[in-house]
Every structure is written in structure tokens, then in C-alpha cells.
Amino acid sequence: MTDRRALAVVHTRPALAGDVEWIAELRAVVLRADLTRLSRYDDARVRQRFRDAFEPTQTRIIVVDDQEVGSVALRDEGGSRWLEHFYIAPSHQGAGVGGRILTMLLDDEVTHRLNVLQGSPAQALYERHGFVVERQDEVDVFLLRERRSERDTLSDGR
């Protein structure tokens, strides 16, 4: 048996157009419980929404010990960088992979934004990495991580 807490080799590689189907399938697996809880799960739609939004040039494939286990996309918009399509296979969740990927990707000189489904346990991971709730609705929670200079100003009380 492998110790899941042992330090694994974690890196990313650029996504290719051919990655779309396995990531769409991973998205369905990862989001199923939360979407079902919110009465929003649709087997075909969960995959198609990813296919429609997939942009290989903005997407990285998460690799752990030479096994492709997830994806993450970064998209610049209006002075912010959106973190999207961050999916990790259930077999690798809870082992620190998500935190290591965030540490690699987050840039202190940029404001980052993302959204998670209401009640998602992933929200705690993002909050540990400096994200705070910006707004929410009945389905989504929108989180924000200010660039370092703005975070420093807020923590100094200025």
C-alpha cells in the first residue's frame, strides 16, 4: 500500500485538444455529488459545458508521479485571473495535491477569482490560500484573492 501523504512528484503540462474528453469525464465525476445535492446534475450537460468552455492554451494537466490526475485553467479577464476547471481525481484528493498546485500557480502580483458550488469542500482549500468570499447566490460562491499589494494594504488597515 502506498502512503498517500508521502511526497509525490507533482507538476503540470500544457493541455492538448485531445485532452477534452477525459477532462469532461473527470469533471462529471468530481462535480456529481455537489451538483446532485443542489439538484443541478445533468449527465450530458455537465460534460458539454466543459467541452464548450475548454481552451487548451489556458489549461494545464496536473500530473502526479507520472499519472495524469487533473486539470486547471487560468484565464485573464478585466485585470483579474480566473482559476477555472480545477479538477483532481478522487483517488488523489485529500493528499495535498490541490494545495501544491495552487502554490505553483498563484501569482501574488495578480488578483485571482474563482467560483465553487455552494457547500463544496474545495472552498476551504481556497480560503487557506488567501481567497475570501466576494459574493454568492443559491448555487455558486465567488471567491477573490487580491494581489499582494492590495492584501497588504487591507491587513495594515489602510
Q: Give the pLDDT confidence score for residue 3 in this predicted structure.
A: 46
Query: pLDDT by residue (tens digit) across 1-35?
Result: 344 555 789 999 999 999 999 999 999 999 999 99
Mean pLDDT of 99-104: 95
Q: Is the pLDDT of residue 40 over 70?
A: yes
pLDDT for 2 equals: 46
CA of 63: how far to CAs of 8, 59, 87, 96, 100, in Å? 10, 13, 12, 13, 12
What's the gap between Cα 49 and its chain centre? 16
How far apart are the C-alpha atoms of 104 and 98, rounded to whole Å?
Answer: 10
Instruction: Residue 122: name the closest of 136, 102, 147 by CA.
Output: 102
Residues of the chain with pLDDT > 70: what percent? 91
Q: What is the per-residue pLDDT across 75-90, written as a single tens digit (0 to 9) for each? A: 999 999 999 999 999 9
- Could you give the CA distance from residue 79 to residue 30 in angstroms, rounded to a whole number? 29
| pLDDT in the model for residue 1 | 38
Q: Mind listing the pLDDT tens digit for each residue in 147-157?
A: 987 656 555 55
Tens of pLDDT, residues 41-67: 999 999 999 999 999 999 999 999 999
CA 145 – CA 154 distance, rounded (Å): 12
Rounded Cα gap, residues 70 and 73, in angstroms: 11
Nearest-angstrom CA–CA distance, 87 and 20 = 13
**The one-letter amino acid at 83:** L
